Structure 1
């Protein structure tokens, strides 16, 4: 492999200021007067008061149906009691995928300490864990007296799929990692007949969703296979796949596997979760949501904002603003800074290129490729769109703005 050339501070800082998509460029710049979503979301719409459709979707679809009071907690307890009864005599009550991030970590704490459940703690190692994430996972399972089951993804195949996504020019480069996590968890639950999957997803910190142009659906097999078919170099024999039909139809309606999000039925805030985990287990916080993965830290902190103009902090901070956990002015001040230190970004560029087994010069050529979107490859967007509308209509899903 060639010696890695240095990527300058000037290059990095310049590219944080420069990029916006062609569609966004065609519109006058605007930012929501309530949250911090702006026209980097190419589909964003504003009302006469300058409030965006993300905020309106929260007020219309989420807030009226999001209950965390005594009645909701009693209903959740009834569900927990039913799980315990149904799983009596079994090794585990439920399965929880643990990334080491805040939401799944706090979810595990609550399952054991608050509800007395016996979860199978499942971790998928896609090759990108930070040392801090590894430490946090071990600290938590040790503190709760649990065993950890770890599934390691075939790295040669993961690497090939990730390189294929880089070569494709799309923004959603985290799909190879995310899809492997989700698919492995679903297949394990199916194989071992664990009927309850606990999910740390929640409205409190995630009520605003990443626009579809930023981060596309992670289980669109047509897209994954098309991109790999065009840009991959080896067959994916061991990489785990899960179609939307498998986990949205077969698992829940044929196998009876239920996905539960208990954090939506209890008071939950980022600060309370961090304070609880830190004081109880010595768990340490990350600089930003999703930074438990070194790849995701690099991808969301550098690649997305500098190549596409998409800063996922806008989504994260807007969620916290709408749920009363952050002031808009604080969010604006944080957005004025780089997501993380330039020296760390330089280190990550070198690290990611080396792990993908290409030179940094070749790697940074991906940064200048023509920009593509999910629409430029085969996709099943219509299936996801229809499914989201159906789930909203029957009350399973609330916010569908993407």
Structure 2
């Protein structure tokens, strides 16, 4: 199949909702220019804003063991954020790591080095494997693109729960515009949609979710924000954040070892990104991450295309990992062939809170148009 590709970034028509202007520039680039760039200040003014937020966190942290919580996956973004928060901002961190059963050995070593060398307390929440396994089998059987929903939902639900158990109002997130400005909804539907998660599990799962960490729409977006007054802070949006420089700092200061790709700290995520999604849905998620680097001027378009074409070793390893993934999920080769052969599905094929998410976004935009600021939580 021949895809039309953006003349500015490297997103193409494997995104079913992509649109191009007369110059061949896609809607992701226009969204970056019109909606992200004007509100992104990784400069002196951003640092002043961040310093004010940090000062408030420290004031509220007086008399408590921590100033804030931070999710620590072992990936570059969260690892570098931990380094900045501890070494440059002087925050006392409660690091929360959620073990969904897919950590690579390298990720485990990186996390151990980070918390030891930065003197951070770490709380690890281990998800019940039978429940995670059942959920992930259900999502594969459902034929959906975002197979990371079970892992991601557990991660954020457990992070918030741990922060609240210590009376912490602030949660640090490694989410950032610099490396994550592009991601089509069709490729990565919102993992915080509990209605969607439970609907898929109810139809395709076998067991019950007794201890799996969950959080519903009301609690996540209203109770946590307006009653508990919790606030998600993304410090990397207030600072110059260059991926290669961040990796070099982590390697030099913390003995960090890079995984070779974004989110490759999870063996399952790496497999679904390089094998499952390209084979079943015909798109390569790396296009979004590389396009983000183009828009933040960390890469040229030519460099991004070369990186995409040259990552053969990771692609081959992901294909080899299929046997490991299926064995761990207790899925036979025959069932997996049937999963791959059935027509691709989208989140729209199952119950979800998609309409609620759209309503929330519309309400936020309406308030913003009238000069009413809404705290930028997830």
From the superposition, tell whether residues 100 and 232 of structure 1 become closer, same or farther in structure 2 (CA, over 3 Å): same
Structure 1 residue 361, shift from structure 2 partner: 3.4
CA-to-partner distance for each residue in 1:128-156, whole Å, 9 max, x for gaps? 00111111101111111222110000000
Aligned to 1:352: 325
CA-to-partner distance for each residue in 1:331-386, whole Å, 9 max, x for gaps? 11222345644552243101111111233333333211221111111111111112
Structure 1 residue 388, shift from structure 2 partner: 2.4
CA-to-partner distance for each residue in 1:90-109, whole Å, 9 max, x for gaps? 01110001000000000000
- Asked if 1:252 corresponds to 2:195, the answer is no
Aligned to 1:329: 302
**Alignment check: 8 A CA contact 1:388 1:397 kept:** no
Measure the CA separation in 1 of the matches of 2:42 and 2:147: 35
CA-to-partner distance for each residue in 1:71-124, whole Å, 9 max, x for gaps? 221121111111111111101110001000000000000111001110001100
- Asked if 1:91 corresponds to 2:91, the answer is no
Flag as ranges the 4+ runs of structure 1 deviating above 6 A: none
- Asked if 1:222 corresponds to 2:212, the answer is no
CA-to-partner distance for each residue in 1:180-224, whole Å, 9 max, x for gaps? 11111112222332111000111111111x211111110112211
Measure the CA separation in 2 of the matches of 1:68 and 1:396: 20
- Asked if 1:171 corresponds to 2:160, the answer is no
Aligned to 2:44: 70
**Match among 295, 298, 303 for residue 276 of structure 2:** 303
Aligned to 1:8: none
- Asked if 1:180 corresponds to 2:154, the answer is yes
Measure the CA separation in 1 of the matches of 2:144 and 2:365: 28
- Asked if 1:277 corresponds to 2:247, the answer is no
**Match among 316, 329, 336 for residue 363 of structure 1:** 336
**Match among 199, 203, 208 for residue 235 of structure 1:** 208
Paired positions, count: 372
Task: Report the secondary structure of 1:336's partner residue.
Answer: helix
From the superposition, tell whether residues 238 and 311 of structure 1 become closer, same or farther in structure 2 (CA, over 3 Å): same
**Structure 2 alignment gaps of length 5 or more:** none
Measure the CA separation in 2 of the matches of 1:315 and 1:253: 33
- Of structures 1 and 2, the one scoring higher in RCO (CA 8 A, sep 6+) is 1
Measure the CA separation in 2 of the matches of 1:339 and 1:126: 27
**Alignment check: 8 A CA contact 2:271 2:319 kept:** no
TM-score after normalising by structure 2: 0.94
Measure the CA separation in 1 of the matches of 2:375 and 2:296: 18
**Match among 149, 159, 168 for residue 194 of structure 1:** 168
**Which of 386-395 and 48-57 deviates more?**
386-395
Aligned to 1:14: none
Task: Report the secondary structure of 1:370's partner residue.
Answer: coil
Measure the CA separation in 1 of the matches of 2:322 and 2:358: 35
**Structure 1 alignment gaps of length 5 or more:** 1-17, 19-27
Measure the CA separation in 2 of the matches of 1:397 and 1:252: 9
- Asked if 1:263 corresponds to 2:262, the answer is no
Task: Report the secondary structure of 2:94's partner residue.
Answer: strand
Aligned to 1:157: 131
**Alignment check: 8 A CA contact 1:95 1:121 kept:** yes
**Match among 372, 375, 387 for residue 348 of structure 2:** 375
Aligned to 1:386: 359
Measure the CA separation in 1 of the matches of 2:209 and 2:328: 19
Measure the CA separation in 1 of the matches of 2:190 and 2:69: 23
Structure 1 residue 389, shift from structure 2 partner: 3.1
From the superposition, tell whether residues 286 and 341 of structure 1 become closer, same or farther in structure 2 (CA, over 3 Å): closer
From the superposition, tell whether residues 70 and 341 of structure 1 become closer, same or farther in structure 2 (CA, over 3 Å): closer
Q: CA RMSD in A?
A: 1.7
Measure the CA separation in 2 of the matches of 1:224 and 1:298: 21
Measure the CA separation in 2 of the matches of 1:364 and 1:203: 37
**Which of 185-194 and 312-321 deviates more?**
185-194
Structure 1 residue 397, shift from structure 2 partner: 8.5
**Which of 342-351 and 66-75 deviates more?**
342-351
From the superposition, tell whether residues 396 and 39 of structure 1 become closer, same or farther in structure 2 (CA, over 3 Å): farther
Aligned to 2:285: 312
TM-score after normalising by structure 1: 0.89
- Asked if 1:55 corresponds to 2:29, the answer is yes
